[in-house]
Amino acid sequence: METIRLRKATIKDKAIVVDFDYNLDKVEHIELKREEKITKAIMDKECFIILANDSAVGFVLFDYRFFDLGWIELIIVEEKYRGKGIGGQAIDLICRHSKTNKVFTSTNSSNTQMQKALHKVGFSFAGKINGLDEGDPELFYFKTTDDSKTKH
């Protein structure tokens, strides 16, 4: 089992984070101006590098813009490390890090791998929005974390 930890990304990590995203989906990376989003997240201290045995294997963008609750905007694990529970462990770490007692995220209906991973780490289905990606509804999930955290 890999030892997973997170560390806040710095501007020195920008190239590796951008590469993880670009290598996953070049078209989406360019069309959605992800490099700008990643740069802003790094500057705002909202980007975390996923480390497996001290090697960078992915990243998480996490903030509180979703109704002031924890929000996993994006999680990417390098393809060769998928299916090993690394993403789930990273999500668990982010939830423990959250200042709020609920963490939300979303994924496309077509992304069954992410849906399974979310269920596996205790997320519950919250609802669906049509119209964001034509023909591929966005599914929202949440997890209640520590009840002693700030209530929302």
Q: Residue 137 phi/psi, 5° resolution?
A: -55, 150
Q: What is the mean pLDDT of residues 20-24?
A: 88
Helical (H) or strand (E) element with 84: none
Task: Summarize the confidence of residues 81-90 as an average pLDDT.
Answer: 90
> Does the reported pTM lie above 0.85?
yes
Task: Examine the pLDDT at 88 and tell me if it is beyond 70.
Answer: yes
User: Could you tell me which CATH number the domain at 4-144 has?
Assistant: 3.40.630.30
CA distance 6 to 142: 20
Check residue 133 and give its pLDDT.
87
What integer pLDDT is reported at residue 137 of this predicted model? 96
Contact 53, 2 (CB under 8 A): yes
Residue 21 clears pLDDT 60, i.e. is over it:
yes
Closest CA to 61 of 105, 28, 100, 31: 105
Q: What is the pLDDT of residue 1?
A: 58
- Checking if the pLDDT of 147 tops 80, the result is no
